[in-house]
Amino acid sequence: MGIIQISLSVSVLILFIAVLRVLFIYKISRNTIMLLWKLVMLRLLIPFPIPSVSFNFNGWNKNFDIASMAAKGLANKQILNSNTVYQVGDVSNKFSESVTQYINPFLWIWIIGFGISFIIFFKAYRKSYSFLRESLPIIDDITVSEWMGEQKLKRKVSVMVSDKITTPITFGIWKPKIVLPKNMNYQNQQQLKYVLSHEMVHIKKLDSFWKIISILVSCMHWFNPFVWLMYTFVNCDMEMACDEKVISIYGESEKSDYALTILYLAEQKSAYTILYNGFGKKPIKERVRAIMRYRKKSIFGISLSLAIILVTVLFLMLFPGNGKSLNRNEEAIKTVLEQIFTCPNQEMIEVYNNMFSRIQTSPLEENINNEIDKKLYEIYQPYISSKWYESFVMYFYSYLYVYSTTDGYEIAVDHIDIKRSDTIPTNYSFMVYLNYSKEGGEKNHTKIEGSAQFLEEKGKISYLQLFDKNLKLELMSSRN
Amino acid sequence: MKLFDSEIKVMDVLWRYGDLSAGKIAKILKKEIEWNRNTTYTVIKKCINKGAIKRYEPNFMCRAMISREEIQRYEATELVDRLFDGSVEKLFATFLSNDYLSKEEISVLREYIENITKQQGKKSLDI
């Protein structure tokens, strides 16, 4: 389950950003931090590794890929107990089936965890939403109408009032609504404008959308406390980034007035605002402090921000990955198949000839097959898992011989299509396209289907199946 | 009884138009304040629970069981108790000071007070 890998490697990044936001609290803008969180959240949304541009830590992945660990355990048992390993035309999927059954418990645990988290959020959402939708439109307020006239936004924004909330709340993505509490001083025009501008910034930055994303991500990674930590950071930083923007609009001279507005509104008890951008209740002290210490960022701050953003993007693109191991698996399949289906295979022919001549000269010599075994080991061992190697040689022996050394035939691999299973990432299916011709004859094409499994190590086949009757029969009959 | 703004809004429709079906109320409010049907229905239910609206068949007809005046009196009393120590005088003092009322409004009030006094006077005479 790649999601665990991603979750864990991104946790490192979360920690990194968390430290940065404290260290450079006044040097880099909160908006920069928000950008970082948004990048991280987007990455966490995608539950599988990005291939090709990725590395992996071999040891790490082994330990944390719980599903494949479990599958491995069962797979080993299967191999040792089974007597019917490979037969031509054996289309048995028994192996994959039993592995699937074993993986499911972990998937189920995740689903349950996700479901519970989701339900908790959903209930809170419904509670808030039920009284927000009963708000009434504001009428006859000059300040509000004036302010609305000044706003330029594609989406239509409505300002409402409700007697059930005590701090302003903004919600809605396509039809944003700002809901103001009834018990607010509407005579104080300056204050009203600050509030409206603050909410407007939330709307412009699509904060409602990002809040939903943060909740979705927290549910998906319910098992990861770092992601929950990030969730609290996101809520806090979102408000502060908004404050920053408001001050940059009104100018640093109005910092204290704005801070006072926040304090005043914070004195009211606030409603449950999980899904909506309130005026922010919790870290009021932090916010006021940040506002008062707001300053345009220095060149140092800006370059630092850019550097951090770059590092973050690089990290997210590179870790974690199945990229390399994906290629290693495919590489193993390709190399093994190319070795098997290259005829005449000069190396093998040489070895067999040596063996034959030795049999002629000293027929009683022991270990005559040693040379062949050594050669096969040399060629195939790097791509076959150590546990299965013996079986591989045993069952493929005759076929290796036939496919690669049959007189008068030329066989070559045209190309190989390899597909990784969607459900079981350690299973691959492939199609080998071969060109072959009998000496002097016309060129023939054929394709052979097969599958490979990598339950031991990445890059080492732990089980191989080839579904071919025709070519082998033809080759064998021509040998006779 | 204590009604929230949303509930008063629904009552307002009934006060203006008399008995209506829930569907009709929803339509009107959809046009006036853009509430969707579910919202209106939820608020109507809350009013029914509080006894402000009575439902009768057919078709989920609604009748206002409390008048606008009753609510006004309730809210006003609430306000006086809450903010003016239960003293109506203090409330009026607030209005009368600070140029809150225009000359016309003050003379209307004065007439009103005189009428009330006369009525009260009559009552005491009858006794």
- Alpha carbons A433 and A448: distance in angstroms, whole number: 7
Q: Is A151 helix (H, G, I), strand (E, B) or coil?
A: coil
Quick check: A419 contacting B, CB < 8 Å?
no
Domain ranges of chain A: 11-59+113-318, 323-479
Contact B6 A130 (CB under 8 A): no
pLDDT higher than 50, residue A5: yes
For A136, the closest of B33, B36, B42 (CB atoms) is: B33
Q: How many CB atoms lie within 10 A of CB A162?
A: 22
Instruction: Provide, rounded to the nearest whole percent, the portion of chain A with pLDDT above 70.
Output: 81
d(CA A266, CA B69): 36
A136 touches chain B (CB under 8 A): yes
The CA distance from B59 to the nearest CA of chain A, in Å, is 24
CB < 8 Å to B42, chain A? 130, 134
Which of B13, B31, B33 to mutate against chain A (most A CBs within 10 Å)? Answer: B33
pLDDT digits over A95-129, tens only? 444 444 445 677 888 889 999 999 999 998 888 88
Encode pLDDT of A55-65 as tens digits: 343 333 333 33
The answer to whether A159 and A150 are in contact (CB under 8 A) is no
Chain B, residues 42-71, CB within 8 A of chain A, namely: 42-43
Q: What dotted CATH number matches A323-479?
A: 3.10.450
| Alpha helices for A205-298 (secondary structure H) | 207-220, 225-250, 255-267, 284-292
Domain at B5-65: CATH architecture = Orthogonal Bundle (1.10)
In this predicted structure, the answer to whether residue B92 has a pLDDT above a threshold of 60 is yes
CB contact under 8 A, B42 and A134: yes
Confidence of residue A449 (pLDDT cuts 50, 70, 90): very high
What are the domain boundaries of chain B? 5-65, 97-127
- A127 touches B at CB < 8 Å: no
What confidence category does residue A73 fall into, taking pLDDT thresholds of 50, 70 and 90? very low
Q: How far apart are CA A129 and CA A20, in angstroms?
A: 35
pLDDT reported for residue B40: 94
